[in-house]
Chain A
Amino acid sequence: MNTIPTPAPQDAATPIVIVGHVDHGKSTLIGRLLYDTDSLPEGRVAQIIESSKKRGLTVEWSFLLDSLQIERDQGVTVDSTRIPFKLGNRQFVIVDAPGHRQFLRNMITGAADAEAAVLVVDANEGAQEQTRRHAMLLRLIGIRHVIVFMNKVDIFNYDQKKIEAAERDITKLLHQLEIEPTVFVPASAREGDNMASRSDKMPWYKGPTLTEALAAVPAPSSRADLPLRLPVQDVYRFDTKRIVVGRIERGRIRVGDEVVIGVHGAKARIATIESWHTAPQVAAVAGQSVAVTLEPDVIPDRGDFLFPADHAPLRAARIRTRLFWLRQEPLRVGESFKLRLATAEHQVTVAAIDSVVRLEDLTEHPAEEVPPEGFAEITLAVSETMLFDPFVSGTADGRGVLVDRNQQIVGGAPLIGVAESVAGRNAIHPTGSAVSLWDRAQAKGHRGGVFWMTGLPGAGKSTLAREAESRLFARGIDVSVLDGDTLRAGLCADLGFSEADRRENVRRAAAVARILAESGQVVIVALISPTVADRELARQIVGEGFHEIFIDTPQATCEQRDPKGLYAAARAGKIAGFTGVDAPYEAPLKPDLRVGTTDASRDETAARLATYITDAIRLDAAAQRQTS
């Protein structure tokens, strides 16, 4: 029996974030709203009632949200949650953002893609620190529809004059942030006034109730009519086809369209749109995750935009951005990060702090640093020219995140535009080359790259590096070797063997390797680099194209070889802190390549290394990686 028709397609749920100062009544509002709109699952209501009883309390609607025991014990909401509810036929998702100050990163996690916000303000207390902080955040993430929920007006005995005075204060604050509140709702969440039904205690109020205000939030505006932006997420090679995948951020594609690819500007035509288990596609729009083939078969990199020739994004190596800073320590000029923008990753340095927001009155001031969890405008110097669109509300691109070397997100950065040069005495000015990596790779016939060889003293790193260098050079590859002893003879002659000096040695080697690799060279680094942290530092500095190669020779063999007599000296106590004797060597757990040197001849080992490097630097290496 199958008489029930398939349900009609539905619109996606509208996300609504609830923000406001701690104890101004966010959780009560949500609990009450779900109750009033009959949206509570039976199981949960029973749980709340039981929990409230256990604690000897009358039913507290806010317990609904505090579903984790640790939260209830502390009486604060730890993290954001998403709660679906329906008004008529329209689906909403409530994003509950916590009011506790140090949980900013959880709030932004929940609020970042909301369509509208409800700012809950205790009528009696007015705007508090987190009211201002959250309002600032709403501005930075570009939420335009702000409903101000003036809570607890029962305290004023529903007095029109007092309520309107409180409204004026909030309006002034929001206007400072260029936020035009959509509507003010005087209400009491606990009493249910102006929630789902009109309060009979404020006959003077003619505006909407909360649910009426929510129902009036416009549906997300379509990004399909803007010029195309398709950031490349990955390139696959399946069977004989090379397939470029990504999600369309703006605009639409159609088979036959001509597109420009990334900063290098190659042109191609969309040859096909590939899919599985759907009707054949000839077009796709913003929001869809697509797979396309290109004609001619050019190979974009992850992070390249596909865009129309007549509507190119901005191009700059110095950009201005707003910033909400999520770290618990301040941010200073000169710090380096990765800027992740859609699928691209750019190496950036903070070139200037242009202004910092003072949270007490939301005014902007010059400052030396961005305080923990602060808001600012900064200038970023990018290591190479990048493409971007400034952030505007209603689009999902044009806003990046700053990522530290542990791959942790430390800030959100809605981009403003191209930076004017020279800003303040602390500004530094790294320059970006107009010759792109791709131009260089095409001229040389191979990509640049850094092959970082780590291993115990005497493992054979330098010997192998030199052998491989000869072989690669004979194949016409532009290759050079940086080895530990050679570096210490010159560039690092001022360094000793303390932990700090060793780390500096690694940093310099990596920085030089990066410069060479960016000029299109293949760089083989032979450096003990004994700790995981050393190699991670090198990987962070070099970025894309870093390969960790573990020369895995057993210590006994190294000690037996002892080409420089160093093990003997260390054993005799003449050298202190010698890796493998009285300083630890942390072998890589997941090297890109592991090379054993005991069960193959030196020739065979060098040949294997040269083959690995040759494969990794091929012009189509980005696509090759995916099929291995």
Chain B
Amino acid sequence: MDDLDQLEAQSIFILREAYRKLKPLAMLWSLGKDSNVMLWLARKAFLGRVPFPVMHVDTGKKFPEMYKFRDEYTKKWNLELLLGDCPPVEEIDPTLPPAARSAARKTAGLAAMIDKYKLAGVIAGIRRDEQATRAKERVFSPRGSGHKWDVRNQPPEFWDQYATPHEAGVHVRVHPLLSWREIDIWRYIEREGIPLVDLYFSKEGKRYRSLGDQDITSPIESTASTVAEVIAELETSRTSERAGRAMDHESEDAFERLRVAGYL
């Protein structure tokens, strides 16, 4: 088994644990590369099926290419799609810096969906290498009342034994991609032939490395127009993936405040 085989086997194990232990369960589908890999892994785990709904928390500000991708693959992959909207930005904590405030809309939209469908588990495609705060996460991360993440009081997690609390008002975020790195995601996409929104590939010298809302994500300089070229580019790049995400850089603690409140 090479490193991708090992990552794949571990993610399949995690997805099967979540499906067994947490009901009702749903998977977040942001339409980005990571969540497409996650969906693909679910189909591997469940032999071509996705036996739970996928959720798109729609900020209404995604790129048109992303909506088109969503509609096309919902049909093609026979997905049960749950859609949820986000409250207007005026209803969000005004003490957050502008881009973080905009991103916090998604947190509120997600919380509403979790309550509406009374979800016990939500599968999300975050990775440790994306951002220092995410490096602190557990694979099964229980969220207390109000969906809050208590970073200083996380359950122990080892030997693939995961916390599965049965308390009212507590749900578990499941992170099957936690150990993957950005380059692993791309190498797996290349190996498996996983379809992506073409915003990830260079047009006129620019491409998106990470996709968020249109108004708070910016493209990077790049000539990589195929998956293989993106991999080659990443092998020499040393800037961080989320460099194009405005809310990560506004103040030292903006991102952590977002996550404590339930942001991914």
A residues neighboring B (CB under 8 Å): 1-2, 4-7, 9-13, 40-44, 51, 67-70, 78-79, 81-82, 84, 91, 105-106, 108-109, 112-113, 233-234, 236, 238, 243, 245, 247, 274-278, 285, 287-289, 291, 302, 326, 340, 396, 399-401, 403, 406-409, 412, 532, 536, 539, 589-590
Instruction: Pick from B26-34, B60-68, B209-217, B238-246 the stretch touching chain A.
Output: B238-246
Bound-state CA distance A396–B19 (Å) is 22
Residues from chain B with Cβ under 8 Å of A234 in the complex = 16, 19-20
A113 close to B159 (CB less than 8 A): yes
Residues from chain B with Cβ under 8 Å of A68 in the complex = 132-133, 136, 151, 256
Q: Which of B47, B49, B187 contacts A7 (CB 8 A)?
A: B187
Q: Which of B242-264 contact A (CB under 8 A)?
A: 243, 252-253, 256
A289 close to B154 (CB less than 8 A): no
Residues from chain A with Cβ under 8 Å of B256 in the complex = 68-69
Residues from chain A with Cβ under 8 Å of B45 in the complex = 245, 289
A42 close to B151 (CB less than 8 A): no
Give 20 CB contacts A-B under 8 Å. Answer: A12-B2, A41-B240, A42-B239, A81-B132, A108-B156, A109-B156, A113-B159, A233-B20, A234-B19, A236-B47, A277-B40, A278-B44, A285-B1, A326-B156, A396-B160, A401-B158, A403-B161, A406-B165, A409-B158, A409-B161
Q: Is there a chain A Cβ closer than 8 Å to B118's Cβ?
A: yes
B residues neighboring A (CB under 8 Å): 1-10, 12-13, 16-17, 19-20, 40, 43-49, 118, 120, 128-129, 132-133, 135-136, 138, 151-152, 154-161, 163-168, 179, 181, 187, 190-192, 225-226, 228-229, 231-232, 235, 238-240, 243, 252-253, 256
B152 close to A407 (CB less than 8 A): no
Known: A2-B226, A12-B2. A289 touches B129 (CB 8 A): no
Residues from chain B with Cβ under 8 Å of A590 in the complex = 118, 120, 168
B238 close to A42 (CB less than 8 A): yes
Beyond A4-B232, A105-B156, 12 additional contacts (C-beta under 8 Å) are A7-B231, A9-B4, A42-B239, A43-B243, A78-B152, A234-B19, A243-B47, A277-B48, A287-B5, A288-B9, A289-B12, A409-B156
Residues from chain B with Cβ under 8 Å of A13 in the complex = 3
Residues from chain A with Cβ under 8 Å of B187 in the complex = 7
B20 close to A532 (CB less than 8 A): no
Bound-state CA distance A247–B253 (Å) is 40
Bound-state CA distance A206–B108 (Å) is 60
Bound-state CA distance A27–B61 (Å) is 41
B138 close to A4 (CB less than 8 A): no
Bound-state CA distance A82–B191 (Å) is 25
B154 close to A79 (CB less than 8 A): yes
Bound-state CA distance A404–B17 (Å) is 19
Q: Which residue of A lies closest to B240 (CB)?
A: A43
B154 close to A408 (CB less than 8 A): no
Bound-state CA distance A122–B45 (Å) is 47
